[in-house]
Structure formats: structure tokens, C-alpha cells
Amino acid sequence: MRPEERVTLRAVREEMRLRKKGIARFNKRWRSWAQNRVRQFRLPLPVTLTSDTALMDATYITACVQKAAALRKHDVKLWFGYSKRILELRGELQPDQLGYIMWGYGHSGASSFLDASFYREMLPTIKEQVPNFQSHALMSMMLGCHEFVRAQGSS
């Protein structure tokens, strides 16, 4: 191998090493930020998804919806049970809880659960609470409504 070729190959290897190291460092930074962002908006309440919904209060049902969505549970009976209880508790729900609930319904996959009456009955409560929403709850609510509208358009 000629000396010029050796220098070129060495430079290419060094550049690849630097690029790989830089990308890994960037990815670690991004992953750390994303994990912290998700943890910040995670409800750490220990819940059992199959508990009797009649015994659930607003905080517990919110944590159940968030956990079921995060675990991608597609059990229609489970979601209908949650919907029924949420509609009973809708007057007690805080804006951040509404955000978690709408995030959960949007994240659960609208194709597996669509209950137009749930969204129709929740809309007045959501409209009333919109001025009190923090940015995360507002974006979550928009995600839930967007998924519902998208699914309605495709069916």
C-alpha cells in the first residue's frame, strides 16, 4: 500500500470513528431528554387496570387510562368501562386529568376503541375547562380529538 493511500484510509477511519462517537453522544442526549419528558408526565400511582370501575375516583381512573394507553391495551370492554365511569365523574375531573384521559384515548389507538357518544358528552366539559389547561394537557386533548376525527373520517 502506498503512503498516500495509507494516510487516506487512516483519515477515513478516524472520520468514521468521530462521526460514530458524535452521533452516539447526540442520540444519548436526545434519549435522555425524551425519557425525562415522558417521566415528567407519567402518573406513578400503582393501579390495577381490571379493578371495578364503580370504585374508582377521578385520580385512579386517570392513572388507569394513562397506564392502559401506555401499555397499548386494546380490550374494548376495558375502554367502554373506563368511558362510562369517566362520564359519571366528568364534573370532578381537573384540567390535567382531562389531558391525561384524552392523551390515553388518543394513544390507545382509535381503531380499537371508538365511542362517539363518549367524545360528544365529554366535549362540553372540555370546552369549559380549556382556559385552565396547561400546555401538556392541551396538546394531549388535541391528540385525543385528532385521533377521533381521523378515525371518523376513515370509517
pTM for the model:
0.68
Report the length, in residues, of the chain: 155
Q: Highest mean pLDDT range out of 72-76, 81-85, 99-103, 147-151? A: 81-85
Please state, for a pLDDT cut of 70, what percent of the chain lies above it.
Answer: 78
Domain ranges of the chain: 1-40, 53-154
Cβ–Cβ < 8 Å for 146, 112 = no
Instruction: Residue 94: name the closest of 52, 134, 144 by CA.
Output: 134
For residue 31, the tally of other CB atoms under 10 A from its CB is 10
Reported as a single tens digit per residue, the pLDDT across 39-92 is 666 777 899 999 999 999 999 999 999 889 888 888 889 999 999 999 999 999
Band (pLDDT 50/70/90 cuts) for residue 35 is low
